[in-house]
Amino acid sequence: MTSTTAPVTGRRLRIGIGGIGIESSTFCPHRSTTDDFRQTRGQDLLDRYTWTRADSDLADLVEWVPLLHATSLPGGPVEAESYLILKNELVTRIREAGPLDGLVYDIHGAMSVIGLTDAEGDLTEAVRAALDHHGTPDGTRPMISTAMDLHGNVSRRFAEPIDLLTAHRLAPHEDAWDTRERAARNLVHCLREGVRPHRAWVQVPVLLPGEKTSTRLEPAKSLYASLADIEGKDGILDAALWVGYAWADEPRCKAAIVVTGEDAELAAREAESLARRYWDARKDFVFVGPTGSAEECIEKAVASDKRPFLISDSGDNPTAGGAGDLAYMLGKLLAHDAIRTGKVTAVHPGITDPVAVAACFEAGIGAEVTLSVGGKVDANHGGPYELTGTVEALQRAADQKDRAEGGAYDRGVDMAAVRVGGLTVILVERRKPFHTLADFMGPADGGLGVDPRRYDLVVVKIGYLEPELHDMAADWLLALTPGGVDQDLLRLGHHRVERPLYPFDEDAYEAGDAPDLTPTLL
């Protein structure tokens, strides 16, 4: 194993950019298709990144070659045919690009595809073969640098063909664009200096939901903060820690660590030490806030004097892969006397139901409607909820801008706000997150105009709160509701994950024999 190769001098590097990114739950009945992906090519793809611009310090060093980038809101598994369409285009574009020195591989890492195990392993093998087909302009092996979400999975099959792997260091992912830039800059550095770094890779038999591993709280905060210290050491280029994706049932789903550097021994030592610290801390990871059942959370929020009081309907969070059409929480809210009678006000945004939305548009603002809401895609938790209410506001998809927040695709959708007693429920034509004030308000002209700050309760299909919701919340509870991204992992019924695995085998290794956390040098 060599850690050096001929540096590229005297010419600009040719580096491709491409990838497919989605986080998809195998426990969710929703199916993701090509239509769910925001696909960028050519200049649109380059425009995603600041470091590809003509005024970037990298402009003189690199010719960026846009391939295909596809990113989707999280959801259910990707249909096999849709995956193949995207994969084939990416691979074809790599081959047609001619010799490339490297690839910035911009992915998520938790894609589930119907009928496939380790989708990113499959995609990466094809990408590697396509790159190696031409080799670099100098006839050497192109390098791949991967930017990932820390909720991605890192199997050996996936990691082996990749030269550089890095991931976000914050959850929520406020550093998502920094991660991609780090991947690009590390790749340029290695190609220009002729460095082929070693990767010390180790998986840790722990699988935790994101809501227990937010970097706002310990122990994730310190574990993630230590990555910069490791990276700062001589001979180390990057350190990355993946929590893994809890809502897919595959052997690769578990935590992973990769320390990358020219000093193989140091990289291995640091990877093992970090793996050990993660393992030792496994029982210290707790939910980012107080939790309860839907009924308990509603009861406490109604009784509180903190306004607005936010509740996360976490089991059906579309931004983790939930169907986003469960009416479970809606039923619980309207079962509460204070809310039903209007003594307490509540807003509950984001139940996907195109038929109900169309009926509201047909009826018009001010009309009374009787609707059968949600529970059609994910029919496992109570089915549709029948309600009669008043259409309060309507917003057309065309009035909203498509958005690629942190990379995920969030497009404009038709929406209707319907009031029943003290509750305003916001129905959406297709899956949509509510993370910002703008999501509720819409544009000043023709927007929904629902201001969540005016309600007593704000009940969102989300896990931990994204920054704007976090700032608005006078208080908050995480409701452990059912759905495709149920936070109570033990009731989901994983059976393909590798055992023993914490917390599925809570007491494994209790006898003192800790798991083998010796890294493999790739």
Residues that bind Zn ion (CB under 5 A): 149, 151
Question: How near is the Cβ of 498 to Zn ion at its closest, in Å?
Answer: 21
**CB-wise, 440 or 464, nearer to Zn ion?**
464
Question: How near is the Cβ of 320 to Zn ion at its closest, in Å?
Answer: 8
Angle between helix 264-280 and helix 220-231 axes, rounded to 10 deg: 170
Question: How near is the Cβ of 113 to Zn ion at its closest, in Å?
Answer: 18
**CB-wise, 30 or 173, nearer to Zn ion?**
173
99 C-beta neighbours (distance < 10 Å), count:
15
User: Which residue in the shown chain puts its C-beta closest to Zn ion?
Assistant: 151
Question: How near is the Cβ of 40 to Zn ion at its closest, in Å?
Answer: 20
Strands of the sheet with 198-204, listed across from one edge: 236-242, 255-261, 198-204, 520-521
Sign of CA dihedral 457, 458, 459, 464: negative
95 C-beta neighbours (distance < 10 Å), count:
13
Side-chain half-sphere CA neighbours of 413 within 13 A = 26
**CB-wise, 252 or 381, nearer to Zn ion?**
252
Q: Are 431 and 73 contacting, i.e. CB atoms less than 8 angstroms apart?
A: yes
**CB-wise, 22 or 113, nearer to Zn ion?**
22
296 C-beta neighbours (distance < 10 Å), count:
14
Which token pair is 394?
């309507």
Under DSSP, the state recorded for 235 is T
**Which residue do the tokens 């769910």 mark?**
36
Question: How near is the Cβ of 152 to Zn ion at its closest, in Å?
Answer: 8
**CB-wise, 23 or 414, nearer to Zn ion?**
23
Please name the residues in contact with 94: beta carbons below 8 A apart, sequence gap of 6 or more. 16, 18, 67, 100, 103, 127, 130, 131, 133
Question: How near is the Cβ of 213 to Zn ion at its closest, in Å?
Answer: 10
Cα torsion 203, 208, 209, 211 to 10°: value is -120
**CB-wise, 149 or 250, nearer to Zn ion?**
149
According to DSSP, the residues that pair with 201 across neighbouring strands are: 258, 520
**CB-wise, 317 or 400, nearer to Zn ion?**
317
Question: How near is the Cβ of 77 to Zn ion at its closest, in Å?
Answer: 17
* First vs last C-alpha separation in the chain: 9
